[in-house]
A and B are shown apart, each in its own frame.
Chain A
Amino acid sequence: MSAPYAKLPAWADYGLIPLINLAVAFLVAGLVVMLVGENPIRAAAILVEGALGRGQNIAYTLYYATSFIFTGLAVAVAFHCSLFNIGGEGQAYVGGLGVALVCLAFDSVLPWWLVFPLAIAGAALFGAAWAFIPAYFQAKRGSHIVITTIMFNFIAASLMVYLLVNVLKPAGSQAPQTRTFLEGGQLPKLNFVLEALGFSVRSAPFNLSFLLALLAAFLVWVLIWRTRLGYEIRMRGFSPKAARYAGVSETKIIIIAMLISGALAGMMALNPVMGDQNRLQMDFVTGAGFVGIAVALMGRSHPAGIVPAAILFGMLYQGGAELAFEMPNISRDMIVIIQGLVILFAGALENMFRPSVQALFASLSPQAAGVEARQGEGG
């Protein structure tokens, strides 16, 4: 293109362009809704109503969002080190094993507030351990982390099925799941918070791990932007060469970033396993690890973007369930399409609209554009 490119102001860079991408993703999703013969505007209305209409729905939305904050942060931390951790699904699954082992061991002897920190440690440890092998192979032997983490998702699935069927299932039971945890292995619900705000919640799995997720988001922000380690992670992500010259051990930083990422993904398991189902069952992750990719891309790998993005996806999950009741042609799988479209437009095609937006800015204020563009060239 011959039009001069303006350097975009920060609000356009971090606000406008992601919003345009998101809008296009939802527009295409609307076309799919039309294709199956439903009215997209009515679908959107039902979805929002189903996600936020009543206290009950809000509680479910936040329950789903909790999982997505964890997995979104997991993907984001790895992104900052320019590693693509696609193995959140498997790390969360194995993290659930850590939670379950702690709960099974201590639920009859300790109260929940003593089991909880142990379960956090168990989840983080198991999740990190599952991320360690791909990280080590990437750092030491140069095997591509994307491929190894995909493979580890499948290996995790097989391993967990084996453990649930052959080891963890109580004798005499048919279902491949552990026994139900006693009170010591159950997190208190947070529904009372919503009730205090004037909503009525009958029963919803919205639980304490939501606060842990918010805390994790804050700590990730501190880590990435306020610590030396975070600086080194970002430096390696921005330019591995520069990091090497600056004396950062690449091996070390890759492994540490992936361990943190795996630990965050593993902690996602606290929400469904200890907060809702109170037992370890097959496939409890249900794609949350993959939603994390969309969440991280949409939130531009910044906790301040990840939390709202996770809540948006929580709305889609909860609202999508309601939508399936109202519109027979639309099932919850619509969310999978939207997820894919968000990943496509906010991730792979993130720069598609940039030239046009830049040209637009340039035509609005040609002088500023000209000056900035020249400065850019000079630098």
Chain B
Amino acid sequence: MNLRRIRLVLWALVAVALAGVLALQWAGRRREPSQAAFRPDFALQDAAGRTYGMEDFRGRLALVFFGFTNCPDVCPTTMSEVALVMNDLGSEADKVQPLFISMDPQRDRGQGLSEYLAAFHPAILGLAGDGAATQAAAESFRIHFEREESPAAPDGYTMSHSPGLFLIGPDGEWLRQFPHETPAAEILADIQERI
């Protein structure tokens, strides 16, 4: 009798867990469209001076990072993850465009942004506009960056910034953010599911 009661309680727990999972999934599905309801954009230049906007990447997923090359920790770590994702995509790599948008465009351009990014992966496109265009791009992606004066940084300043990777859909819709330190395998799995 006791065993029977325990079994009943366990089944009840299973039912509660199942209901919870379903509710979460349903809530997740409902939340996504409202988050994805915006299309970030920008007008920024590559090393050759060509101006790009999000429409240049239509039909492909875009994996967007806002960074600066004087950043010794977060930016190289993220770029090496992007390189891993691109390598592991193999023959499907051409369906994903990784972008590095400089938040420190003047210094980055002077120090060779494309050369720096090529050391991680040749597919990563580095874009660096002027101050106003950079600010507009960040606002469009709803991210924060700020120049901080600091004697403990090269040239006396550093940048604080939103360190996530942003995934933009083939039609330009914002799909999701991968928070800083999301493992490359997780990013890869998400992207492969969408391709």
The answer to whether A binds B is no
